[in-house]
Amino acid sequence: MKEDQKSLLYNKVYSHTIFKNIPEKEFSTFIANCQLKYYKESEKLVYFKTPDEGIILILEGKAEMFIESKAGFSVLLEVIQEGEMIGLSHVAHYLGDSRDLLHQHHLELEFVEDSYCLQIPASIIKDRLTNHTVREFILREMSIRLGSVYASLGEQIKLGDDWGESEPFVQRAKDLMYTPVITIDLDTSIQDIAHIMSQQSISSVTVIDQDKQLIGIITESDLVQRVLREGLPYTLAAADIMTVKPYTVSPHDHYYEVLSTFYNHRIKHLPVIEYNKVVGMITFRNLISKRDRGAMEILKTIEDASYDNLPVVKEAIYDVLTSLINDKISTIHTLDIITKFYDRLARHCLKLAVQSLEQRGVGLPPVPFAWYQMGSGARGEQFMLTDQDHFLVYANSKQPEVKNYFALLGEEIVKHLEQAGYKRCDGKMMSNEEVWRGSISDWKARLQEWSIQTTDEQVLLSYNFLSFRFLFGDRTIDKSFTKMVQKQLKSAQTLLYYMAQQEQNNPIPQFDTTFFTLFKTKEKNEMIDIKLHALFPMHHCLQILGTLQNLMNRTPLQLLEGLVQTGEFSDEFASDIRHAYEVALKTRIHLSWKKHLRGEPIKTLIKFNNLRHWEQDELKTMLKTVRALQMHLLKKL
């Protein structure tokens, strides 16, 4: 430890209320009997088994206290921050009460930051409790902490009643933020900022420009570290001390995403932004009181996974999926949550694939690249791991080693995704196939070929391709690639016409007295294929209409939103389509999940007459809306 670090920690101890105003000689005696300890982030400590171990004072860092049930579930009791003490429950013992009420419970301390702590022996605490000021201080600390524990437990009970096990995954930033947020302009003086924070009892303010767009943030820490410690004049303005371009979250980001942002960037304040305007604020202290260890464990499981333990991630995600289904969370919301976990898993596999080539001596990517998913993963509909559908795009280069590198990377990607639980695509639509990787120029030539050779096979390939969604790599390559695809498809009217023709040749069944006459054999009588009769036609129609409006690289719901904004759909029609889409997805998921639990092959055929009347009516309305969407497309071409 550096001397200046030692000096800083010494001063923190000396100025702390427990030791304040003690003569230097007596303080030296006390400090000689204490132990300075260092704990790394994520290090755990079994809470004191006996009161004789004394109290821990956190000088730098932060820790969380959990209580664990016999079943292994952990509940967060409290968060202990810099300047606070661990072990206040032992104070009664130091005052003469011999009861030990906590010995039957398993308490565990976990450090969430690298921390320096001072372990103060019981003998010193007993001695200092004779001081009136120290007794008052500890009594006040105990009262505040007791209130925090009650509030934390009350919040967890309330959320448990509302959401069951799904709460950490269902809650969003808009449910957690506080409003209104105090904003200032660039010219606000430091003195005024300090006055505002004190008057409003807040720990941060946001800095906005003339258009009310967020440009910075100032926290209490900024005032202390950048003004008081450096002795800057109070006449300086916000522009001189603010943190420019602060980390932000969207109101629609999930709880675990927000918490992950706090941990990854080691910040304590997160503005909530919508259209670059501040709509709320989330503080780490408030959020952490609602922390559920399970919500972060799955993120750690994904991010810490090596090649060998990638299979574990699938089971962790399936556990979340089980909770969401059991708690009857809406289908769209469930898929939104699960898709983000699968996206993290896929990105992690890409990182491991790149690292694998580097470790083998092949090196790092020679040029920037982008990786895209296709199929259900790209559409955000993959609630269970299925087969792989993806492709690679990289920057134009005439160097042969570039082509060779991405051929190797394609193989590594497929290998890592397979290890994670994605089976290889039977149609070989994967990055390890030459036709599904290439430079931007290669892809341009490929699209031109597809546009000219409009066979049934090319049309099917085009449908799968048009569902693409960027997931990993260089954003500049993604923008260039998407722009190129838009330009190529703009002149590919023949291809789009043939794609629409296929929709015309596959009309949606109409429910009337002769409905089941559409199915020729007795075996197929009463059977409806939810993918064939609903989801595929919906996807195809939205893809074609989106392409005509230059909308791509989006999920179906994002396409739907874009088609409303371009005037292609009315709000009412879009609402009908969204409802139909949710009904189709819900039906497919519930059907497939039941078969998965029974260990049966996953199929999407439904016996219509086995459904209850209200379910039949729901499916009829859904298919009617899909047919209306199909007719809307056919009128366009």
Domain-wise residue ranges, the chain: 3-164, 173-291, 305-487, 492-637
Which of 359-368, 499-508, 608-617, 626-635 is the most confident on average?
Answer: 359-368
pTM: 0.63
pLDDT of residue 516: 43
CATH annotation of 305-487: 3.30.460.10
532: Cβ contacts below 8 Å, ≥ 6 apart: 604
Burial class (CB in 10 A: 0-12, 13-18, 19+), 505: exposed
Q: How confident is the model at residue 71 (pLDDT cuts 50, 70, 90)?
A: very low
Task: Determine the Cα–Cα distance for residues 446 and 375; give it in Å rounded to an integer.
Answer: 19
Could you read off the pLDDT of 218-242 as tens digits, one per residue?
988 888 777 876 777 777 899 988 9
| The domain defined by 3-164 carries CATH number 2.60.120.10 | yes
Strands (E), 121-237: 183-184, 204-208, 214-219
Q: Per-residue pLDDT averaged across 543-553, rounded?
A: 90
**Residue 616 to residues 507, 510, 611, 621, Cα–Cα distance (Å):** 19, 13, 6, 9
Structure tokens at 138: 């500890």
Q: Do residues 88 and 143 lie in contact, with contact meaning Cβ atoms separated by under 8 Å? A: no
Sorted by sequence, the CB contacts under 8 Å of residue 21 that are 6+ apart come out as: 133
Which pLDDT value is given to residue 160? 47
Considering only 110-119, 130-139, 251-260, 500-509, which range has the smallest mean pLDDT? 500-509
Q: If you average pLDDT over residues 606-629, what whole number do you get?
A: 84
List, for residues 156-179, the tens digit of each pLDDT value.
545 444 444 556 666 788 888 888
Q: Which residues pair with 390 in a beta bridge?
A: 373
CATH value of 173-291 in 3.30.420.40, 3.30.70.20, 3.90.930.12, 3.10.580.10: 3.10.580.10
pLDDT in tens, 329-356: 778 888 888 898 899 999 999 999 999 9
Same fold, 305-487 and 492-637: no
User: Residues 105-131: pLDDT tens digits?
Assistant: 567 788 878 899 999 998 999 889 988
User: Residue 141: which residues within 8 A CB-CB, separation 6 or more?
Assistant: 84, 85, 88
* CB-based contacts of 144, cutoff 8 Å, min separation 6: none
pLDDT the model gives residue 206: 94
The mean per-residue pLDDT over the stretch 24-52 comes to: 84
- pLDDT tier, 65 (very low <50, low <70, confident <90, very high otherwise): confident
Closest CA relative to residue 21, chosen from 128, 140, 95, 126: 128
pLDDT at 253 over 90: no
CATH superfamily entry for domain 492-637:
Nucleotidyltransferases  domain 2 (1.20.120.330)
Tell me the mean pLDDT in the region 195-205: 87
| Distance (Å, whole) CA 180 – CA 175 | 14
Task: Of 100, 36, 102, give the one whose Cα is nearest residue 65.
Answer: 102
Q: Both tokens of residue 613?
A: 């009347």
Q: What is the pLDDT of residue 538?
A: 93
Distance CA 311, CA 306 (A): 10
User: Residue 161 has what pLDDT?
Assistant: 47
Q: What is the pLDDT of residues 441-484, one digit of tens each?
A: 999 999 988 887 777 777 778 888 989 999 999 999 999 999 99
